[in-house]
């Protein structure tokens, strides 16, 4: 292989790994939007909270990572239930902007809690996955990247199967299509809302744990929600398949732009590129690649 092609392949492989974590975060956005028509601006803070809870359990409580993982999942379920029951259920019937402002307030509260208990310094997970580099046809990939990619794909497959085959998943799809019809068929819309928030909190926590094992964590991990938003728009706000594809695409694009253009612009292209894509997509396809196009007749 030529050096140029090897460099390109290296960027694509790394982008796929990061993109798979973006896809998990995008799933949380899409789930809540499909069920409640609310954009959750606290998604990044849920990622942050999940990562710090897992790190606290592993490092401070000295509990093995496997058990810490399940403890973090349980915490995320409780967090999702509390947010839905105490903050959002009382707002049913209120203007949509009111609910969105509540999610922004929730983001501030969660970030403040993390800062209060753990500070703002970078903290590193103990070595959980092997760090040794592996070589495939000249492409060097750390084992932790492969583990992260495998975990992300596994959880995406689990949630895809849940939505397609489980009773709760089918009820969620019915609620997303038409809440009134779903309620007339005996589906508890409030219960579906709660499940949606729980699952969104869980996928966010998993994403936080995976990112933490690669780069370590600090308060800036909360920006993950904003970085995932272009992936959500690219795939379509109400498309689960679109969330997965959008996350992978944005991860690859971000890495390629950083790898090829940072040298000419002095850095920062990697962070800006997804939002340039976001603007272009909104101009050309406002509903994303797989989003449902809504037509209103007057």
Indicate the pTM of the whole model.
0.85
The 10s digit of each residue's pLDDT in 185-199 is 788 878 888 888 888
Q: Which of 163, 213, 205 is nearest to 78 (CA)?
A: 205
Instruction: Give Cβ neighbours of residue 45 (< 8 Å, ≥ 6 apart).
Output: 106, 107, 110, 111, 114, 222, 225
- For the CA atoms of 106, 87, 41, 50, the dihedral, rounded to the nearest 10 degrees, stands at 60
Mean pLDDT comparison of 71-75, 96-100, 102-106, 140-144, highest-scoring range: 71-75
pLDDT digits (tens, 9 = 90+) for 6-59: 888 888 888 888 888 888 888 888 878 877 777 888 888 888 999 999 999 998
C-alpha–C-alpha distance, residues 131 and 7, integer Å = 21
Tell whether the torsion through CA atoms of 221, 226, 230 and 233 is positive or negative.
positive
């Amino acid at each position: 292989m030529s050096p140029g092609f090897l460099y390109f392949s290296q960027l694509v492989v790394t982008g796929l790994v990061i993109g798979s974590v973006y896809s998990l975060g995008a799933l949380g956005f899409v789930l809540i939007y499909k069920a409640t028509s609310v954009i959750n601006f606290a998604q990044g803070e849920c990622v942050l909270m999940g990562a710090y809870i897992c790190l606290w359990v592993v490092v401070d409580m000295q509990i093995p990572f496997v058990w810490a993982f399940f403890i973090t999942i349980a915490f995320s379920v409780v967090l999702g239930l509390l947010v839905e029951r105490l903050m959002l259920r009382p707002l049913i019937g209120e203007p949509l902007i009111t609910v969105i402002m509540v999610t922004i307030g929730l983001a501030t509260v969660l970030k403040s809690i993390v800062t209060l208990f753990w500070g703002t310094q970078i903290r590193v997970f103990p070595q959980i996955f092997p760090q040794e580099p592996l070589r495939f046809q000249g492409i060097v990939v750390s084992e932790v990247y492969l583990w992260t990619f495998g975990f992300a794909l596994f959880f995406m497959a689990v949630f895809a199967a849940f939505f397609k085959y489980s009773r709760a998943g089918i009820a969620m799809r019915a609620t997303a299509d038409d809440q009134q019809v779903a309620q007339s068929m005996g589906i508890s819309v409030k219960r579906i809302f709660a499940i949606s928030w729980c699952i969104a909190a869980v996928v966010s926590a998993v994403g936080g744990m995976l990112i933490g094992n690669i780069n370590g964590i600090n308060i800036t991990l909360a920006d993950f929600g904003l970085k995932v938003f272009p992936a959500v728009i690219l795939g379509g706000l109400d498309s689960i398949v679109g969330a997965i594809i959008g996350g992978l695409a944005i991860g690859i694009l971000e890495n390629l732009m950083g790898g090829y253009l940072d040298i000419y612009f002095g850095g920062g292209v990697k962070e800006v590129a997804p939002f340039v894509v976001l603007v272009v997509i909104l101009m050309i396809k406002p509903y994303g690649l797989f989003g449902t196009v809504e037509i209103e007749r007057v």
